[in-house]
Structure 1
Amino acid sequence: MNFLTQIDNLALIALLLISGAALFLPTLSTLISGKGLSPTEATIWINRRKAYVLDLRSEDAYKAGHLPGAKLANASGLTASIEGMKLDRKHPVVLVCDTGSHSRKAIAQVKSLGFSEVGILEGGVQAWKVAALPLVKQGK
């Protein structure tokens, strides 16, 4: 009976280690590539920390619905777009695209412009919509 108890304990320890690693991997990915923000976390950054929201989508997608206070930043000319906005480098920046993938690619570029804290909206505008948060729409 003692031998079976030891096997059960080893199985539980292995399960604990595997589940812990599975929970930590997304955090590790975020630490390496930049801060991923849930819609709730992004809202906190925007409201409490006065973060700038830069929308990297096309102008048509931006007009169809963007986060409140978001500024359209041309993804292909991101450096020029940001420089033209004359943003205070002390404030954090939240990058937004449709799903989060384009934003993740732009983190290093935005950090190289002197912003020390840059986050992305994980899941992009799609996640914002799923969370039933408001979008601002502009006519064409």
Structure 2
Amino acid sequence: MDTGRVRELLDSDPRARLIDVRTPGEFEAERIPGSHNVPLDLLRERRSSISPAHTDPVVLVCGSGARAEQARDLLEDNGFQRLTVLSGGVGGWQEQGAPVERGTGKWAMERQVRLVAGSIVLAGVLGSLRYPKLKLLAGFIGGGLTFSALTNTCGMARLLSLLPYNRTPAQDAPGLLAALTADNAAGR
């Protein structure tokens, strides 16, 4: 669903929920006002215990749309019916001039991946001047990035999401999931 239609839905239906499935670090850095953070990794981890207590419309958001699509597949399997994905994610939202809230200086996952992948490639190329086989490391990362683009998945992002600043503290999990699953008769 494009930004304009999502904004119309949020304006017209007070029960509509905007669920951001990015990591807590990404959410802290930048988010759509009124959105709730329920990270994709938490959804995967708690898959067996997630079920809706409502029929409210839910708009899933991430950085570009890929993780939100994965979340939609998972949630549809758990009985959620009125799910949609924000086309283009937070980036697309911003490009359309829609408001965002900015928080701490944590980096978005895409930026983290670019830093790590670029650093490994640079180290591999520079190191290959002394140890020629290190250029294979750069080739391996290039292959991984190509695979990532073709499959719209990212193994490096999955690994980076395990870092402490990208993780959801265990004590927060029930509260975060409630933003998605609980009945909210009063609306947002």
Range class of TM-score, shorter chain: 0.5 to 0.7
Question: Which residue identity does 2:68 align to in structure 1?
Answer: S
Structure 2 runs not aligned, ≥5 long: 106-188
Q: Does 2:8 correspond to 1:44? A: yes
Given candidates 20, 24, 29, the residue that maps to 1:64 is: 29
Give the length in aligned residue pairs.
Answer: 104
Question: Which residue identity does 2:3 align to in structure 1?
Answer: P
Deviation (angstroms), 1:61: 1.3
Deviation (angstroms), 1:101: 1.0
Given candidates 84, 93, 97, the residue that maps to 2:58 is: 93
Query: 2:69 is paired with a residue of what secondary structure?
Result: helix
Partners of 2:48 and 2:10 in 1: how far apart? 20
Contact 1:89 1:114 in 2 (8 A): no
Match of 1:27 in 2: none
Contact 2:2 2:86 in 1 (8 A): yes
Question: Which residue identity does 1:56 align to in structure 2?
Answer: V
Percent sequence identity over aligned pairs:
22
Deviation (angstroms), 1:115: 2.0
Q: Which aligned pairs between 1:1-140 and structure 2 lie closer than 5 A?
A: 37-49=1-13, 50-78=15-43, 88-139=53-104
- Please report the RMSD computed on the Cα atoms of aligned residues, expressed in angstroms: 2.6
Match of 2:145 in 1: none
Larger radius of gyration: 1
Are residues 73 and 111 of structure 1, via their aligned partners in 2, closer, same or farther at CA, if it must alter by over 3 Å? same
Are residues 105 and 62 of structure 1, via their aligned partners in 2, closer, same or farther at CA, if it must alter by over 3 Å? same
Query: 1:46 is paired with a residue of what secondary structure?
Result: helix
Partners of 2:31 and 2:81 in 1: how far apart? 24
Contact 1:96 1:124 in 2 (8 A): yes
**Post-superposition CA distance 1:52-73 (Å, at most 9, x none):** 1111111121111111111111
Partners of 1:96 and 1:131 in 2: how far apart? 15
Give TM-score scaled by structure 2 length.
0.49
Partners of 1:61 and 1:55 in 2: how far apart? 10
Q: Give 4+ residue runs of structure 1 displaced > 4 Å after superposition.
A: 79-88
Partners of 2:103 and 2:48 in 1: how far apart? 24
Contact 2:18 2:58 in 1 (8 A): yes
Partners of 1:75 and 1:41 in 2: how far apart? 23
Contact 1:53 1:71 in 2 (8 A): yes
Higher mean alpha-carbon deviation, 109-118 vs 62-71, is at 109-118
Structure 1 runs not aligned, ≥5 long: 1-36
